[in-house]
């Protein structure tokens, strides 16, 4: 199991270790690489530093290390990060529409350029904005996983929203967005 830490996971500063895994631990401050089967999971620390304690940023050193890890990887790669690397619409998002500069990773264009040059990235998964979305950027799916506890209204139970991703042969990807409260399933398939 992989756990990607975000801007709220370490109250006194950015996470020292962006990925915790039962068998391997990434170097401090990121990026980290974990190989599971033939898939390499590259984890970015997008709180390097956290802008205003909320917004995402990746240091120049981490960007270079990420590019090196992508160059050295073989087989399919999945990128994991807390802050989104795409530019999906946040219109209507009560948390981030008023503060768009805190919604995404500041260096997202440079990161996407590195990702696209590698030709091995199957998908990018992020969170932070508390809602689910999928955006194709130059044929690569950028998936924002919804918050399990976000209610969006002051009353009522948290919906228990989450996503299940399945990677298949030939770069096939299926993502099911689910909710415990409403029992909903919304699916996205690519490849």
Please name every residue paired with 168 in a beta bridge, in sequence order, or none if there are none: 172
pLDDT at position 179, please? 87
Whether the Cβ atoms of residue 33 and residue 45 lie closer than 8 Å to each other: no
pLDDT digits (tens, 9 = 90+) for 100-113: 988 999 999 999 99
Q: Which two tokens stand for residue 191?
A: 């490849």
At 33, list the tokens. Answer: 């690489």
- Superfamily of domain 2-145, CATH level 4: GpdQ, beta-strand dimerisation domain (3.30.750.180)
Sheet holding 185-190, edge to edge: 161-168, 172-179, 185-190
pLDDT value, residue 10: 52
Tokens, residue 127: 């969170």
Burial class (CB in 10 A: 0-12, 13-18, 19+), 128: buried
Cα angle for residues 121, 123, 126 (degrees, 5° grid): 125
Residue with tokens 């699916």: 187
Domain ranges of the chain: 2-145
Angstrom CA distances, 7 to 30, 53, 55, 146, 151, stand at: 14, 7, 8, 16, 19
Determine the pLDDT at residue 20. 44
pLDDT in single tens digits along all 191 residues of the chain? 666 777 766 544 444 555 443 333 334 467 888 998 899 999 999 988 777 778 889 999 999 999 999 999 989 999 999 999 999 999 999 889 999 988 999 999 999 999 999 999 999 999 999 888 999 999 999 999 988 887 766 777 777 888 999 999 888 999 999 988 777 788 989 98
């Amino acid at each position: 199991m992989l756990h990607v830490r975000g801007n709220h996971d370490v109250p006194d500063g950015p996470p020292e270790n962006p990925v915790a895994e039962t068998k391997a631990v990434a170097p401090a401050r990121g990026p980290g690489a974990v190989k599971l089967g033939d898939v390499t999971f590259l984890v970015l620390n997008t709180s390097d530093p956290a802008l205003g304690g909320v917004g995402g940023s990746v240091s120049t050193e981490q960007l270079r290390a990420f590019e090196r890890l992508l160059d050295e990887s073989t087989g399919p790669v999945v990128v994991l990060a807390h802050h989104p690397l795409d530019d999906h619409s946040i219109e209507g998002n009560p948390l981030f529409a008023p503060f768009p500069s805190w919604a995404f990773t500041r260096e997202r264009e440079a990161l996407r350029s590195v990702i696209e040059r590698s030709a091995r990235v199957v998908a990018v998964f992020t969170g932070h904005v508390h809602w689910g979305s999928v955006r194709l950027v130059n044929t690569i799916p950028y998936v924002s996983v919804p918050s399990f506890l976000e209610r969006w209204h002051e009353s009522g139970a948290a919906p228990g929203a989450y996503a299940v991703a399945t990677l298949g042969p030939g770069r096939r990807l299926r993502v099911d967005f689910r909710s415990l409260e409403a029992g909903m399933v919304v699916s996205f398939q690519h490849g």
